[in-house]
Each structure stands twice: as C-alpha cells, then as structure tokens.
Chain A
C-alpha cells in the first residue's frame, strides 16, 4: 500500500517544543503502520528536516546529532529514496502540472507527489495543505 512522510511531521515528532508535537505523536501512535508498509520518504525531505533543525534550534549541535538517529540510527522506521537526475526531470514536470497561483509547490513537495504516482502510494502524513486534492493526507 505504502505511505509517504513529509518534513514537518518528522520534525514535530522529535521536537517537544514544536506546537505540532502532540499532533505528530497522536498520528504516530494511532497510525496502523503495518497496514501501510512500506513507509518511505526522500533524500529531499531529509535535507529539509536538517534545515528546520538547524534554523529552528539556532544550530544546536546536540539536536543535529540526535536527529541522525531518526534517519540512519536505531530510530529509523522508513526508507529514504535517493532521487536521481532522471527523476529530477520527472519531478519538474509534476511541479509544473500541480503548481498554480494558489498552490506554490516546493520541489520537495513535487517529489513526494511524483513518488505517490510512481508507486501508487496515495497517502501522505503532512501538515502541508499543498497536497490536498492530489493525494490523501493524514494530518490529525
């Protein structure tokens, strides 16, 4: 079936002071993960989470070290899909198709929509309404 994870959810899951932390925990605890496996994200989401951690904590090294565990350590529970140059071209097409005046997608957003269509994993955990009307979003 497959489920995709977005940056905001992963960040808020780990950081207690984020105002979405309780919501992330609720989703984390209530989601029937085995029903959705595989659980995936992309290298672009990893990049975004690192940026969020770095900016929001004002480069707190301890936080940056701890977030490593979620991606590559003993807390990892999802696959990180490495997107290549050929896929970037495809993602560019998705960006053009789904962006408009009212929906300014980031390239990372477009990459997640691309994955949803490529693998038919039409569910995403995200706090970003950009995905609404395109794929099913779990946000509460």
Chain B
C-alpha cells in the first residue's frame, strides 16, 4: 500500500495542540487521523456533501455537451468498437 501523507501537516499539529487543551492529554497524530476517519465514516453523508466534489450534469452542461458535438468524417464504420481497439 502507498504511504499516505497529510498535505496539511501544520493543521494537524494545531489540531493536536487544541485537543491537548481540551482534553488535557496528548493524542498521537496517527490516532487523531484514525479517529477522524472513523468519525467521517460514521457521518458519511455530511462528509461527502461537505468535502467531496462530484461532477453534476447541470442543464447548462447538458446543453454544452450537445451543442459541442463533433462533426468530422468517421472512417472504418463497418468495424465495431472492439475491432477498432483490440482487433477482435
């Protein structure tokens, strides 16, 4: 498995410091990350809505896709997709 490195190490350190103030004990960064994942997993819907961007098919995008159709000659129209790609 690839190593996972947090992009914002400083934010993690600040978060760790805040937890020390709140709870009076130091929690390791690994444990914080593990607990954050666990928490997010339990609040998956809110996490996805807040933090994960997914492409949406808006009416504008739909119109753009249709109006930007490509009109050029297509060769080898007697062949299927698999024949073109794999020769099968």
Q: Hey, what's the 0/1 contact readout for A27-65 against B, CB within 8 Å counting as 1?
A: 011000110011100000000100110011110101100
- Closest chain-B Cβ to A36's Cβ sits at a distance in Å of 10
Confirm or deny: B11 has a beta carbon within 8 angstroms of a beta carbon on chain A.
no
- Closest chain-A Cβ to B71's Cβ sits at a distance in Å of 5
Confirm or deny: A135 has a beta carbon within 8 angstroms of a beta carbon on chain B.
no
Q: Which DSSP category, helix, strand, loop or mixed, fits chain B's interface?
A: loop
Residues of B within 8 A of A93 (CB): none
Q: Hey, what's the 0/1 contact readout for A4-19 against B, CB within 8 Å counting as 1?
A: 0001100101111111
Are B84 and A56 touching (Cβ within 8 A)? yes
Are A52 and B61 touching (Cβ within 8 A)? no
Q: How large is the interface on A (under 10, 10 to 19, 20 to 34, 35 or more residues)?
A: 35 or more
Output the nearest chain A residue to B56 by Cβ-Cβ distance.
A77
Confirm or deny: B85 has a beta carbon within 8 angstroms of a beta carbon on chain A.
yes
- Closest chain-B Cβ to A72's Cβ sits at a distance in Å of 10
Confirm or deny: B65 has a beta carbon within 8 angstroms of a beta carbon on chain A.
yes
Q: How many residues of B contact A (CB 8 A)?
A: 25
Residues of A within 8 A of B22 (CB): none
**A89 to B71 alpha-carbon distance, docked (Å):** 39
Q: Hey, what's the 0/1 contact readout for B46-76 against A, CB within 8 Å counting as 1?
A: 0000000011110001101110111111111
Instruction: Tell me which of A15, A28, A29, A76 contacts B55 (CB under 8 A).
Output: A76
What are 11 residue pairs bridging A and B, where the CB atoms are less than 8 Å apart in the complex? A7-B81, A16-B71, A17-B71, A21-B69, A28-B65, A56-B76, A63-B70, A70-B65, A75-B65, A76-B55, A128-B82
Report B's interface with A, CB cutoff 8 A. 54-57, 61-62, 64-66, 68-77, 81-82, 84-86, 88
Closest 8 CB pairs of A and B: A77-B57, A17-B74, A16-B71, A8-B81, A33-B57, A75-B65, A56-B74, A16-B69
